Structure 1
Amino acid sequence: MVLVAGAIIVALVTAALYVRAVRAREGSLDHRGGMRLVLWMGAIVPTVLLTVLLLFALPAMRPMETGPEDLVIRVEGEQFWWRVAYRPPGEEPLLSANEIRVPTGRRVHLVLAAGDVIHSFWIPGLAGKMDMIPGRDNDLVVEAEKPGRYRGVCAEFCGLSHALMAFEVVAMEPEAFDAWLLAQRGASTGASEGRGAALFTQNGCGACHAVRGTAHDAAIGPDLSRFGARTSLGAGILEPTRANIAAFIRDPQGAKPGARMPAYKTMSEADAKAIAAYLKGLQ
């Protein structure tokens, strides 16, 4: 529809110019008439149209109000991933990372901050940009109208892997979201079983990462609880296959330069794949 409207406007303007310039009587065009045309078409008409559009859009630009019953989600930008904490009214925070889920038809209050340098939180299909500044909380209110997935990015240069810092917003039907949020509070399936779980502990992964249902509750790196249900690896840059997870464990800087996660290049490929299988099993 936009293309059709644009084509109609271009055709009308071209026809008007043709009539005015080509079919005009000899001597009817002069410098004063040309300057009047420039003044009207280049200044007066655009000014009036833009003013009308601004007055029409201003009411829609007012910040949405939130109440105490609305869901609060705190998102902190890190180098180079996203720390996420759901804070339902009257309940304990629920931690996650690199993915945000919201209910459709409800207002969600996003509290945005940064743990290291300035980041910029941007979901083009859902909300405008908002800076994330260390030591300060900024507020952004969003409301998804229909279920779907929205890709978000960091829009402020924050280091070597700035362009590799993405996330996904999943908008769910309210009932489905409530059920999902309730289920997240339980322990992940297979949280402390098998060879991969043992290797996860032996290699010190729990010193940085938390997994609900285990003794690992560190908050230095991303929370890995129910990691197997996520749709991306490394903050939106890789498909979470076992091969990609194993490669990321052994050499995270290879996929994300400047990442603070230490490399495990001396770890055998078999051990890395066992840990990857364990993480994929966290549902």
Structure 2
Amino acid sequence: MRCCRPALLTPPLLLLTACSGWQSSLDPQGPQADLLAGLFWVFTAVLSAVWLLTMTALVVALLRRHPARTEPLELNTRPERGMARTVGAAAALTLVVVVALTVVSYGAQRALFSGGEAPLTLKVKGHQWWWEVTYEDPGPSRQFTTANEIHVPVGQPVHVKLESADVIHSFWVPNLAGKMDAIPGRENRLVIQASKEGVFRGQCTEFCGWQHAHMAITVVAHSLEDFERWRESQISAAEPPDDPVRKRGMQIFLSRPCVMCHQIRGTPAAGKVAPDLTHIGSRLHIAAGTLPNGRGNLAAWIVDPQGIKPGAHMPLIKLNAEEVEPLARYLEGLK
């Protein structure tokens, strides 16, 4: 019997561990996520109570013994009247529960989409299979674009304008907010806000093709001072390399088809169809969360993107063996 105890304990432990973590709607780290988590627990409590009442009524009905009839043709309307009252009460209770949950859900939805002023507005565009993130600003010179990573200040609401460049995607950072679709030709809006510093993982939750599972987005929440320092560094153009190996890597990058797709501000590379690489070295991951960022993974991605993320639109670039290291070092240094 002892050998069965771990197996019996495994499902409850898995359920408990699923309630926390860097991608869990049951571990809210912002007011929007708090509201949704509260709504979830209200629905769970009410529906659990309904289920328990239903099962209790069923058990009572099955165990209840009815007196035997001495006269088969005898009419007894009392059970029928009692049954009618029970069914009526159940119907009324059902109506009350449905109306109450509808009102609670509607109130939560109004609170989520109430809008209001926000000091920061982002335009997030879904692509197959990565996220383009533009930090909007009244001054055009202070706008910049990054990819697959959002940085926000703690305690401040952030307006997110969602768009899609190809098919329907769905933006979801469970710790911070609910889901919202990104639809071609339409702009949807969402508000996210982090209550504390940390790193939170998001995911596309609308099946959008072969690499849908590898279309993640990371939200990094900073203190206001750290966020402003990060934003100023992102606004600036890429620093020119200061060592011979990275200079060689820059020459390789600019002489290959990379410049047709990618942009590195401060260089002739001005492509707009693939992620902006101006500060790629400062990001936590590459390939939309598929690999941790680092020189080795950058080199592997450059050499064989289809082996890492089959179906991705990153083409195979022909490089000599001695060109891979300088190119990876150049990209790693773009911070």
Of 226, 238, 245, 2:298 maps to 245
8 Å CA contact retained: 1:147, 1:173: yes
Match of 1:134 in 2: 184
Report 1:61-80 matches (<5 A).
61-62=109-110, 63-67=113-117, 70-80=119-129
Residues 93, 15 of structure 1: CA spacing in aligned structure 2 closer, same or farther, 3 A cutoff? closer
Unaligned runs of 5+ in 2: 1-15, 17-40, 68-78
What is the CA distance between 1:34 and its match in structure 2?
A: 6.4
Match of 1:206 in 2: 259
| RMSD, matched Cα | 3.4
Q: Distance in 1 between matches of 2:55 and 2:166?
A: 58
Bigger share in helix: 2
Residues 21, 84 of structure 1: CA spacing in aligned structure 2 closer, same or farther, 3 A cutoff? same
- Provide the secondary structure at the position in 2 that maps to 1:128: coil
Of 304, 307, 324, 1:272 maps to 324
8 Å CA contact retained: 1:70, 1:88: no
Residues 218, 55 of structure 1: CA spacing in aligned structure 2 closer, same or farther, 3 A cutoff? same
Q: Distance in 2 between matches of 1:14 and 1:208?
A: 60
The answer to which of 173-182 and 75-84 deviates more is: 173-182
What is the CA distance between 1:18 and its match in structure 2?
A: 11
The answer to which of 269-278 and 80-89 deviates more is: 269-278
- Provide the secondary structure at the position in 1 that maps to 2:189: strand
> What code does the residue aligned with 1:261 have?
M
Q: Distance in 1 between matches of 2:308 and 2:86?
A: 57
Residues 248, 34 of structure 1: CA spacing in aligned structure 2 closer, same or farther, 3 A cutoff? farther
What is the CA distance between 1:189 and its match in structure 2?
A: 4.3
Report 1:4-19 matches (<5 A).
none
What is the CA distance between 1:245 and its match in structure 2?
A: 1.5
Deviations 1:169-200 (A, max 9, x none): 11222222122112211233455752222221
- Provide the secondary structure at the position in 1 that maps to 2:285: coil
For normalisation by structure 1, the TM-score amounts to 0.82
8 Å CA contact retained: 1:191, 1:213: no
What is the CA distance between 1:96 and its match in structure 2?
A: 0.5
Q: Distance in 2 between matches of 1:22 and 1:161?
A: 52
Match of 1:282 in 2: 334
Residues 217, 244 of structure 1: CA spacing in aligned structure 2 closer, same or farther, 3 A cutoff? same
Deviations 1:197-219 (A, max 9, x none): 22212223222211233232221
- Provide the secondary structure at the position in 1 that maps to 2:180: strand
% of aligned pairs identical?
42
> What code does the residue aligned with 1:66 have?
G
- Provide the secondary structure at the position in 2 that maps to 1:127: coil
Equivalent pairs, count = 278
What is the CA distance between 1:24 and its match in structure 2?
A: 6.8
Match of 2:174 in 1: 124
8 Å CA contact retained: 1:66, 1:107: no
For normalisation by structure 2, the TM-score amounts to 0.70
